[in-house]
Amino acid sequence: MSDDQASGKKLLFVVSGPSGVGKSTLCRHILETVRDIRLSVSYTTRASRPTETDGKEYRFISLEEFEKKKSEHAFAEWAEVHGHLYGTPWSELEQDAHNYTDILLDIDVQGAHQVMGTLKRAVSIFVMPPSLEVLWQRLSGRGTDSLDQQQRRFQKAQEEMKHYPEYQYTIRNVALEQAVWELKAVIMAERVRTAHIDPAHIFR
């Protein structure tokens, strides 16, 4: 535990936004440059991409394994996104009382809605693209998806963007550096909110 976090309570930061908005890049920068925060690693039934490692970005499992976990109530939330299942296991959100590491969840709007309902202390952030035109350029520029997939993701993106008012913060990712800076500012401000300070650690 580092000293600047020693007086805080554990916080959950829920980051949502449409595919292609740069959410994973944003989250990666946060994980690399902010102390005491880790990514919640979800389970998914989608196939891994060449750049991904099982257990790092996701835990890749079969549909049967996912259904089994669902029936065992292993998920804090789960959703079907672009035809695949994704879920946050409770085990990723559990920590012992003396561990002050915050948790970053990169999940879609359906999952975020469930998390905001059950975990009242979750801090929610929506990442918006600079414009629909730029979003389409980013989605269609991805070498990993077919044209049909790109069009479905673009359609879904526009639906998802309508949900931004349900989030506490909205960050427009025009330039990555600025967006990272804004997300860091949210994390830092939430950490020093009086309500988020553990009274047991105030006088020491």
Residues that bind ligand 5GP (CB under 6 A): 19, 42, 46, 77, 79, 81, 86-88, 106-108, 110-111
Q: Which is nearer to ligand 5GP, 100 or 169 (CB)?
A: 169
Closer residue to ligand 5GP (CB): 14 or 186: 14
CA 88 to chain centre: 10
Report the nearest approach of ligand 5GP to the CB of residue 44 (Å).
6
Cβ nearer to ligand 5GP, comparing 2 with 71? 71
Q: Residue 88 and residue 108: Cα distance in Å, rounded? A: 11
Query: Is-contact 159 89, C-beta < 8 A?
Result: no
Tell the smallest beta-carbon distance from residue 3 to ligand 5GP (Å): 32
As a whole number of angstroms, the distance between CA 62 and CA 7 comes to: 41
Least distance to ligand 5GP from the beta carbon of 184, Å? Answer: 19
Give the E-state strand segments of 97-139 in sequence order.
Answer: 102-106, 123-128
Task: Please report the sign of the dihedral spanned by the C-alpha atoms of residue 135, residue 140, residue 141, residue 143.
Answer: positive
Taking the C-alpha atoms of residue 79 and residue 88, their distance in angstroms, rounded to an integer, is 9
User: What's the closest the beta carbon of residue 46 comes to ligand 5GP, in angstroms?
Assistant: 5
Q: Which residue number, 10 or 69, has a Cβ lying nearer to ligand 5GP?
A: 69
